[in-house]
Amino acid sequence: MSGQLDGKIIWVTGGGRGLGRAYAEGLAREGAAVAVSDIAGAEDTAAAIRAAGGTAAGFMCDVTDEAAVLRCAADIKSRLGPIDGLVNNAGAYPLAPIEQTDAAFLERLFRLNVFGSFHCIRAVVPDMKARRRGKIVNVASATFHAPPPMLSAYVATKGAVIGMTRSLARELGEYDINVNVIAPGLTETPGVAEAPFGDEMWAGVLAAQCFKRREQPADLVGTVVFLCSPASDFITAQTINCDGGMGVH
């Protein structure tokens, strides 16, 4: 552990597996005490971090439930201390043509991908304001800059996350709270393996990327650590694509 996050308490949502677990483990390796939450619980991730010599606690939390989010934030503070950083990773990416993107579909997706981030930010901001510091990392998607078909609702939610981030950075800057976005490309995770992303989609992604290999969770960890560390203290309101050069902006 290099220690650049020593003494920091960072909450990672959706940390039970996939990218969230990779973020949590990477943050812990840099010395952070990591609160890992997931709708199905995240104790396995927390236990793995502790087994590797880090500090972590697992929590069960449905980020679409505002009351549950507030309870989770209070539990984290009680067990670990005031939250210094938040990584809003929980989300979903269902494929659907426009004919199937009805009101119920949209509501479910926006409640998770957008409302969930709002709930978590609202839960941590009061303490961050009082302490005049904090790091908020929202997770969007490189599809916002290079949108494929069949993901219109998902891309709309990620556009909302980017817009929310830019406005909140203006609002919270006077309290020295950083609010940024990481935008991953298509990444080999258990969730992606379970989704209907076939070889044709992967071939299109690789053709668009500068790096001709499939993105791995480890490819994103350094950027998340950077955005949670003192090295990014003068960076806010930004969207950082971490997609192997698929999108250029």
pLDDT digits (tens, 9 = 90+) for 114-127: 999 999 999 999 99
pLDDT by residue (tens digit) across 42-61?
A: 999 999 999 999 999 999 99
189 band by pLDDT with thresholds 50, 70 and 90: confident
Q: Measure the CA–CA gap between 63 and 218, rounded to whole angstroms.
A: 24
pLDDT confidence of residue 2: 64
Q: Look up residue 148 and give its DSSP letter.
A: P
- Token pair 């909140």 in the structure block, residue: 168
- Please identify every residue annotated as catalytic: 154
Q: Give CA–CA dist 127/113, Å, rounded.
A: 23
**Residue-averaged pLDDT of the chain:** 95
**Rounded distance, CA 51 to CA 132, Å?**
33
Averaged over 127-138, what is the pLDDT?
98
CA distances (Å), origin 96, targets 18, 144, 145, 202:
22, 16, 19, 17
Helices (H), ranges, 111-198:
116-131, 152-172, 190-194
| The pLDDT of residue 194 is above 90 | no
Instruction: Provide the residue type at 139 as one letter.
Output: V
Predicted structure pTM score:
0.95
What tens digit of pLDDT does each residue of 210-223 get?
999 999 999 999 99
